[in-house]
Copies of this chain bind each other. A is one copy, B any other.
Amino acid sequence: MSAAHGDKLEVILDAAFRLFGSSGFYETKMSEIADEAGIAKGTLYLYFTSKEELFTAVTKRDFDRFLEQLGPKLEAAGFLEDKLQVIASHHLGYYYSVRDYTRLFFHTPNRDQKLMDTMYAFISAYTRMIAAMLEEHGVTDSWLHAKSFIGILDVFKMDILFNPAFSEQDLAQRTGFAVRLFRYGCKPDTAENREHTS
C-alpha cells in the first residue's frame, strides 16, 4: 500500500545515501544501490526517473532533516552565545554522525539544474536562519556574518572527513572554539598587537 511504498522509498534513499555518501555520485552504480537496498535494478526506476533525480532526492532529504532538527533547538536557546553554541554543535554533530558519508557533499553531478537549485535552496535557508537570529541580537551585516560562521564550521567538517581519529572530544573542543572565535575574534597577546591597534 501507501505505507509499503513509503517504506521501500525510504529503503532506497537509505541505501543510496550510504553509497553516494561513501563513493560519490559518479563512482556509485545504480546496480550497487539496488543491491544495497535489496531490490532489483528496475525497481529503482519506479521511484526515480534517473540517477541524478535519485541523488537529488537523497541530498534534499539530508538537507531537510538538518534544518528540521536545528529549528527547535535554536528556539530553545536564549542568549546569543547559547544560540551560536547550538548551531555549532548541531552542524558539527550532524556531520560527525554521518562522517562516513561525507562524499555526498563533495562529489555531485555537474550541470544538473534541479540539484543546483536544491543545494542553493538549502544554503540559503540555512544562512537565512542564522542571519535572522543574529539580527535579533543586534549583529550588523547579518548575512555576511552568518556565512562566515558557516564557513568556520565547514572547515571543521573537513577535519571530521579527513581525520579518521577525530573524536567526540575534538568535536566539543571545535564547537567551543568556533563560537568564541566568531564572537570575540582571535586574541593575540603581544605588545606589537596592542601597539598596532591602539
Contacts and interface: CB of A to CB of B under 8 A. Distances in A.
Interface of A: 23-24, 26-27, 79-81, 103, 106-108, 110-111, 120, 123, 134, 137-141, 144-145, 147-148, 150-156, 158-159, 162, 174, 177-178, 181-190, 192-193, 196-197
A155 B145 contact: no
| This chain: copies in complex | 4
Contacts of A162: 120
Given A106-B108, A148-B178, 13 more contacts: A27-B111, A79-B196, A80-B196, A103-B110, A120-B162, A137-B190, A137-B193, A138-B189, A144-B181, A151-B152, A181-B185, A183-B185, A184-B184
Q: 5 shortest A-B CB distances, which residue pairs? A: A151-B155, A138-B190, A185-B185, A184-B185, A151-B151
